[in-house]
Amino acid sequence: MKSLIKNRKGTAEVIGTMLFIIILLFFFTNVYMWHDTATKEANQFFLKKINSTFKINQTNEAIVVTANGGSGITLSGLWVIDNNSTVNTSNQHYYADLGNVQVAAGESFNINFPITLQDGNKYDPPSGHNVTCTVINTLGIAESTIFQPS
């Protein structure tokens, strides 16, 4: 037994292997923790997206956005496509920044025409033109409607 304890051959390999296993354990624990955190954040974002639905309707001179999900929404932009445009025989696209308007759950927000576009100009759809209006919230959810000004 004394000769076994005094024999130092292979000690470095054993200590090196133990350190290698500890380093691997530390590395894979961090990878697992990162994956777990990323999955939780993705699930929370998905749930928030599911609960942030809205619908849009048309009134005489406005678009009414109603938050009908379980939580409020933040509106970021409005795309308007003039379907009857005669400029270069293609549809004209307009973008209005809504400035991150907060709409509480169950509440409504009116977008009145004329609207101020991102370039500072005003846009009022001509009477008789069909325009497609798409409202976008900050989570990337978009709803569209055909707006027909009277």
Query: What pTM was computed for the model?
Result: 0.66
Q: What's the rounded mean pLDDT across residues 70-99?
A: 80
Show the tokens assigned to 132: 């497609």
Among the four given CATH numbers 3.40.50.2000, 2.60.40.10, 2.40.420.20, 2.170.150.20, the one describing domain 52-147:
2.60.40.10
13: burial class by Cβ within 10 Å (0-12, 13-18, 19+)? exposed
DSSP 33-89: HHHHHHHHHHHHHHHHHHT--EEEEE-SSEEEEEE-SSS-EEEEEEEEEETT--GGG
pLDDT tens profile 119-136: 888 988 877 778 889 999
1 confidence band (pLDDT: 50, 70, 90): low
Residue among 139, 145, 138 at smallest CA distance from 76: 138
Domain map (residue ranges) of the chain: 2-49, 52-147
Q: Per residue in 39-84, pLDDT tens?
A: 999 998 888 888 888 998 888 778 899 988 788 889 999 998 887 7
Maximum separation of any 2 CA atoms in the chain, in Å = 104
β pairing state of 131-137 and 73-82: antiparallel
Alpha carbon distance 103, 2 (integer Å): 81
